[in-house]
Amino acid sequence: MSNLFRELSVELGERSYPIFIGPDLLGSMDMSPYVSAAQVMIVTNETVAPLYLERAKACFPGKRIDTVILPDGEKFKDWQNLNRIFDALLEQRHTRRTTLVALGGGVIGDMTGFAAACYQRGVPFIQIPTTLLSQVDSSVGGKTGINHPLGKNMVGAFHQPQSVLIDTSSLKTLPPREVSAGLAEVIKYGLIRDHDFLVWLEENMESLIRLEPEPVAEAIFRSCACKAEIVAIDEHEGGIRAILNLGHTFGHAIETYSGYGNWLHGEAVGTGMLMAAELSALEGMISRSDYDRIRRLILSAGLPEKPPAGMTAEDFMSLMAVDKKNVDGRLRLVLLRSVADAVVTSEASPENLALTFARFCS
């Protein structure tokens, strides 16, 4: 085992589970202890299958393995493709004791997790995330679901995995844009509550972009540890977990405006975090130099500074009003109380929100 191998645990009582992090784990790590019976259904997509499916199968020695290979893309995170997972499970006679395995990015992870939450009223599943974003965010915490034409992630369930296997070497085949998108969620952890990590990110961003094994493993470990800690406190997002949505209300508006898949989720979150930082500065919660520092870090990760050309303040207004984080018609946003301390608030003034849109929309 490489000396970069690390393990941590998501503490949720009897539903606690381990996260394994390290290089070259696919094909070498035995995951069969996390499979309850003989059957395994690996769900992946057309891009990931040729790269990693054979190695993923080797993680389940002695098991009867079936596979579903879905088309690749956010636009396929829908009922039709969810149903293809159920079709395969029923055609191959998978019982209530089967284990689903998600091999791919967040799209595959969210869909497979939701399929596992629903199939025969719930079966276990394992996450093998292969994008940086899914390794630091979507594979941990049990949020699963699919998109609806009227809203992203609007149909889903909480369903925790049995374990998460993060092979950091799988990032070598990831396009650079996807690496930057994943770094947005990594930066998010620093911004919401970990100043030491933020400083570490400022010092290591160049090596992270280059995917140097040691800093990459460290960034993934610290991100997962932060997410695991928050999920352990507030599994169903009744309170503190909402701070993980920093930049996401602005970001979802950008994603919806540009059409699923044109802007990557992490890219939209990167710009969204900048907009949240701008609003925090206008509200007097952080200083201008804090804002500049956040901007430098986000841009150094290769993330976009502005929303898509043509997107107006009115577009933001109408798209953010339908966001599911609204309670009683008041816009709840995650803002920054200091450079590494996020808070959920409905107090931001409409004038400052309008000013934020004006500054970002050209």
Ligand X SMILES: NC(=O)c1ccc[n+]([C@@H]2O[C@H](COP(=O)([O-])OP(=O)(O)OC[C@H]3O[C@@H](n4cnc5c(N)ncnc54)[C@H](O)[C@@H]3O)[C@@H](O)[C@H]2O)c1
Residues that bind ligand X (CB under 6 A): 45, 47-48, 51, 72, 74, 77, 104-108, 110, 130-131, 133-134, 137-138, 141, 143, 153, 170, 173-174, 178, 181, 265
CB atoms within 10 A of CB 189: 26
Nearer to ligand X, 40 or 117 (CB): 117
The answer to whether 352 is a known catalytic residue is no
Angle at 282 between CA 277 and CA 288, to 5 degrees: 65
CB of 293 to ligand X, least distance (A): 25
Task: Answer yes or no: 325 catalytic.
Answer: no
Selecting among 55, 57, 77, 143, the annotated active-site residue is: 143
Q: Do residues 114 and 146 lie in contact, with contact meaning Cβ atoms separated by under 8 Å?
A: yes
Around 301, how many Cα atoms within 13 Å sit in the side-chain half-sphere? Answer: 30
Shortest CB 179 distance to ligand X, Å: 10
User: Does 185 participate in catalysis according to the annotation?
Assistant: yes
Q: Does 212 participate in catalysis according to the annotation? A: no
Q: Which amino acid would we find at residue 281?
A: A
Is 241 an active-site residue?
yes
- 51 or 123, CB closer to ligand X? 51
Q: Of these residues, 6, 245, 267, 278, which one is catalytic? A: 245
Which of 152, 359 has the CB closer to ligand X? 152
**What CA–CA distance (Å, rounded) separates 231 from 9?**
11
The 3-state DSSP class for residue 117 equals helix
The least distance separating ligand X from the CB of residue 131, rounded to whole angstroms, comes to 3
For residues 236 and 164, what is the distance between their CA atoms, to the nearest angstrom? 19
**Catalytic residue from among 241, 255, 267, 278:** 241
Q: Is 15 a catalytic residue?
A: no
Q: Which is nearer to ligand X, 105 or 307 (CB)?
A: 105
Q: Is 261 left (phi over 0), alpha (psi -120 to 50) or beta?
A: left
The three-state secondary structure class of 168 is helix
Q: How far is the CB of 149 from ligand X (least distance, A)?
A: 15
Annotated catalytic residue, options 45, 84, 178, 185: 185
Q: For the chain, how long is the longest CA-to-CA vector?
A: 62
The residue type at 181: A
With contact defined as beta carbons under 8 Å apart, do 83 and 109 qualify? no
Q: Which residue has the tokens 């090596």?
A: 207
Question: What's the closest the beta carbon of residue 350 comes to ligand X, in angstroms?
Answer: 28
Q: Please, which residue, 202 or 237, has the CB nearer to ligand X?
A: 237
Catalytic residue among 55, 265, 267, 283: 265
Query: Which of these, 267, 221, 216, 273, lies nearest to 243 by C-alpha position?
Result: 273
Catalytic residue IDs: 121, 143, 185, 227, 237, 241, 245, 248, 252, 265
